[in-house]
Amino acid sequence: MKYWMLIWLVLATCASAAPRDQGTPGQFDFYVLSLSWSPTFCLTHPDNEQCSGKGYGFVLHGLWPQYARGGWPASCAPQSQLSREALDKGATLFPTRALLKHEWAKHGTCSGLEPLAYLDKTDAALGAVVIPEQLQPFNTPPTLQARDIETLFRESNPRMGNHGLAVICKGKVLSEVRVCLTKDLAFAGCPRSVKSQCHGGDIRIPAQR
C-alpha cells in the first residue's frame, strides 16, 4: 500500500509541476476554418436552438489558429470580453451565442486580435470559401464519399489545392469540413495534422432540419 501511495504522490507532483502551454496570442502559422454539418450535430443535440427547424446545412464552427508542426494554441490570456457590438456581429456568423462565446474563449483569444477584429476576420474567411451547390441546404444527396466532397469543394474553389481541406466524419456520417487558410486568408495546403477522418466508401449526409 505504501509503495502505491508513493507512486501516486510522485505522479501528482509531476503533473502539478508540468507547464500548461496555452500559447501566445498571435503566434501561430495558419488558420483552419471549420464548417459543421448542422443536421449531424442536431441528431445528438435535438433541443439545441441551432436545431429548431431553421434548415441549416453547413454552419460556422470556428476559425482556429493552428501550428504547422501540429496542434494549436488554446484559451490564450489575457482574454478580452466580448462587447455588445461583438456579440451582435457574432450573432450574424455563428448559429448560437453559446458557440460564439466558446469559440472566442478557446480559439479567438489566440488570434492576437481584439474580439471585433477576430469576428471580421472570421466573416472574411467565410466569404472566401464557396459552399458547393450540391451541398447547399435541401439540395444534398443522401450519401457521398469523402473524396467526392473534397472534389466538390475544390471545383467550387479553384484556388484551393489538392490538400486544402479535410472531411471529418462521426462514424459513417458527415460531421465537418475543415479548410486550411493562411493568416491572410488565402487557400493553403493542410499539413498532416489536418487530414480527412472518414472511413472508405459512402458516408451518410443527414437531411436538414
Residue tagged active-site, from 49, 107, 133, 199: 107
Task: Give the pLDDT confidence of 62-95 residue by residue, as tens digits.
Answer: 999 999 999 999 999 988 899 999 999 999 999 9
Residue tagged active-site, from 103, 114, 155, 199: 103
Inform me whether the pLDDT recorded for 176 exceeds 70. yes
Inform me whether the pLDDT recorded for 5 exceeds 60. no
Task: Give the pLDDT confidence of 104-155 residue by residue, as tens digits.
Answer: 999 999 999 999 999 999 999 999 999 999 999 888 999 999 999 999 999 9
The answer to whether residue 103 is catalytic is: yes
Residue ranges per structural domain of the chain: 26-204
Which CATH number is associated with domain 26-204? 3.90.730.10
Q: Which residue has the higher pLDDT, 78 or 194?
A: 194
The answer to whether residue 107 is catalytic is: yes
Q: Which residue has the higher pLDDT, 170 or 15?
A: 170
Task: Give the pLDDT confidence of 12-68 residue by residue, as tens digits.
Answer: 333 333 334 578 999 999 999 999 999 999 999 999 999 988 889 999 999 999 999
Inform me whether the pLDDT recorded for 202 exceeds 80. yes
DSSP secondary structure string, the chain? -HHHHHHHHHHHHHHHHS------TT--SEEEEEEEEHHHHHHH-TTSGGGSS----EEEEEEEEE-TTS----S-SSPPPPPHHHHHHHHTTSS-HHHHHHHHHHTGGGTTS-HHHHHHHHHHHHHHSPPPGGGSTT---SEEEHHHHHHHHHHH-TT--TTSEEEEEETTEEEEEEEEE-TT--B----TTS--B--SSEEE-PPP-
pTM (two decimals): 0.88
